[in-house]
Structure 1
Amino acid sequence: MTGTSAIALVQGASRGIGLQYCKTLLQRNTVSTVIATCRNPDSSSGLNYLKNNNSSKLHVCKLDVTNEDEISNVYKYVSENFGKLDLLINCAGMLHPSGKGETSLRSVTGQDLMSTIHTNAVGPLLMAKQFSPLLLNGDGLVGVRSTDPSSQHCGIIANMSAKVGSITDNGLGGWYSYRMSKAALNMATKNLSIELGRGRKKVICVSLHPGTVDTDLSRPYHKNVPKLFTTEYSVNCLLEVIDSLSIADSGKFLTYDRTQLPY
């Protein structure tokens, strides 16, 4: 990553991939500030440990991604204290309110479906709506490997998606809520890449698939997984992808190894 005072915000930072993003970004000399948000910061022992050991570099804010007022409050905090944002990572997600994906149509309920979509797709879009003005002021988390001058000084939105959100790749069915929510998130990413790529200042917007990672969300389904990643390995791979982005990548759905997935 370029620049010496990068500001990164990780939404959904209490555990799993979000918490690991915070840990890894805090170790980077090029990142001056990490803003970690989650619904209940006081109940996250991992986040509190990080805060105690990185008091000047880590800022922890309460933010429920389904609450527009809380999103607005954090936007005001970041705007007043930093005036810009270089990287927004939307991590908060749920498989299903029950913790298990629907195996058949009989298991689908409207309430559970809407709850999953609200967290996984609507929330990240509202984050983009609020923070895009600050991201347009972002000045350089990308361009390390890019030769495209227009990619220097671009803020980045990285939406954590999942391969099961690919309509083309879906050969098994099931998991209605999760699949539909991630497909909706991918559409939001594509739309954002078009709108935020029009002006003189631009924001790079991508959906990222982290692989199957050893987290609470995926733990019930580890039995038949041929390649299970630690959060540290997955995040290191994902940050390599983020480091390599150019404006030509905006709107893409990329895996941890930079393979482009079909929508």
Structure 2
Amino acid sequence: MAAVALVQGASRGLGFEFCRYMLLNKPLAAVIATCRNPDGAQHLAALAAQHPGRITVMKLDVNREDDIKRAAESVKCAFGKVDLIVNSSAMLHPSGKGETSLRDVSAQGIISTLTTNTVGPLVMAKYFAPLLQKGTGAFGQQPPEKAKQHSGIIVNMTARVGSIGDNALGGWYSYRMSKAALNMATRNLSIELGRGQTKIVCVSLHPGTVNTDLSLPYHRNVHKDKLFSTEYSVQCLMNIIDNLNTDKTGKAYAWDSTEIAW
């Protein structure tokens, strides 16, 4: 059976590039691309036209649990399994800029950011874990020991600023907190979904500073050699994914494969 990859938040930025990369470089993979408004996702429609029969565009608002549940039911009916899930949707803050001090903090801003960046990926795991357990381990590396093989992979897109140990500057309360909490969710998931014979590898991946709408307000502060294209970042991240195994689960990795301290 062909590999099945689902990209949550696929209409733009890294999510779109993950879809494009797999369609070009994983010829046997079926790609499920989810987004809040498929009718307005013109780039996805064009990509689907270029790869007929290989990409399914599906409505899924990661802030709505009912959407996630319905999407999981649809994927189950259409594919019966999933081998890889990439949770790509993210927001810096509802205002588009991170808070620089306590004066900028609002309860609603924190709640909105946590809902998209942390709660959404965790609820995705709740409904899609059964389908990942039916996967064939088509992504990552499988060791010869049957007991250590995995059936599927969950990738949560994190950020280095979510590392508590690496935080020396402060600020960006909502975004930092959401990514730190996401890292904890990844760790928890790796433990629960790593039990038993059917194991799911769960990792957090940091893409670097990528030229997307999320990082746009801060481009002038980033050296040109450190501002990555989506193509370069996804190529690096897919290299990590292709080399994942059960020994690497429950950890955070940067785009260059180095491990990030929690």
TM over 0.5: yes
Q: Which residue of 1 aligns with 2:137?
A: 140
Q: Taking structure 2 as the reference length, what is the TM-score of the superposition?
A: 0.96
Q: Residue 141 of structure 1: CA displacement?
A: 2.5
Q: Which residue of 2 aligns with 1:68?
A: 65
Q: How does 1:68-217 map to 2 (within 5 A)?
A: 68-144=65-141, 146=143, 149-217=146-214
Q: Which residue of 1 aligns with 2:257?
A: 258
Structure 1 gaps of 5+ residues are none
SS across alignment from 1:27: helix
Matches of 2:142 and 2:229 in 1, distance apart? 26
- How much identity, in percent, do the aligned residues show? 57
Q: Residue 148 of structure 1: CA displacement?
A: 5.2
Amino acid at match of 2:164: I
Amino acid at match of 2:134: N
Measured against aligned partners, the alpha-carbon deviations of 1:141-172 in whole angstroms (never above 9, x if no partner) come to 34547555445442000000000000000000
Measured against aligned partners, the alpha-carbon deviations of 1:80-138 in whole angstroms (never above 9, x if no partner) come to 11111000000000000011111110000001100000000000000000000000111
Matches of 1:199 and 1:215 in 2, distance apart? 39
Amino acid at match of 1:228: L
Amino acid at match of 2:232: Y
Q: Taking structure 1 as the reference length, what is the TM-score of the superposition?
A: 0.95
SS across alignment from 2:93: coil
Amino acid at match of 1:83: G
When structure 1 is superposed on structure 2, of 115-124 and 224-233 the one drifting more is 224-233
**How many residues of Structure 1 are paired with residues of Structure 2 in the alignment?**
260
Structure 2 gaps of 5+ residues are none
Matches of 1:53 and 1:79 in 2, distance apart? 25
Q: Which residue of 2 aligns with 1:221?
A: 218
